[in-house]
């Protein structure tokens, strides 16, 4: 079973970006921990990061035929992108939405997600652990370990 992990805008800056909000792990650290967790769950992952909405849409379309589902931290596109929602609806693949920070404790504009209503589930507030819990939930939903 193969799963694609998508990191949205500004997540390449992890480690130095507002560490009091997002922690000190880098994106490489997150991907390494995901790869280890995936091995334990008996699944393969591929990771992708982009700051560009269109590139993420293209990636979803291209990756969909080879993956069973998506794990995504859409970054700020969470709160703005109907196109991202439509991309997931269009490829008919389950996805889990994750965020490092606890969106409910932050600014009001971060309380709404265009994606959540179509996601299998949403995990936020646990830092890197959000990704790992999200992966676990997605794999379970897909019938894996």
One symbol per residue from 108 to 127: x for binding ligand DQA (CB under 6 A), - otherwise; what is it? --x-----------------
One symbol per residue from 4 to 43: x for binding ligand DQA (CB under 6 A), - otherwise; what is it? ------x---------------------------------
Shortest distance, CB of residue 35 to ligand DQA, whole angstroms? 19
Sequence-distant (6+) residues with CB within 8 A of 102 are 124, 125
Nearer to ligand DQA, 59 or 131 (CB): 131
Dist CA 136 CA 15 (whole Å): 24
Backbone angles phi, psi at 74, to 5 degrees: -80, 0
Residue range at the interface with ligand DQA (CB under 6 A); choices 41-49, 64-72, 94-102, 132-140: 94-102
Helices within 19-95 (DSSP H only): 19-22, 27-41, 53-63, 82-91
């Amino acid at each position: 079973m193969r799963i694609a992990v998508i990191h949205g805008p500004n997540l390449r800056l992890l480690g130095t970006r507002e560490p009091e909000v997002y922690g000190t792990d880098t994106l490489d650290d997150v991907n390494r921990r995901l790869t280890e967790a995936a091995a334990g769950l008996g699944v393969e992952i591929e990771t992708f990061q982009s700051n560009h909405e269109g590139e993420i849409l293209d990636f979803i379309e291209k990756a969909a035929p080879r993956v069973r589902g998506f794990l995504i931290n859409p970054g700020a596109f969470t709160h703005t992108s109907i196109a991202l929602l439509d991309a997931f609806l269009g490829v008919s693949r389950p996805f889990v939405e994750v965020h490092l920070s606890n969106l409910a404790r932050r600014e009001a504009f971060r309380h709404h997600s265009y994606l959540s209503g179509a996601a299998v589930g949403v995990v936020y507030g646990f830092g890197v652990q959000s990704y790992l819990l999200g992966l676990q939930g997605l794999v379970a939903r897909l019938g894996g370990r």
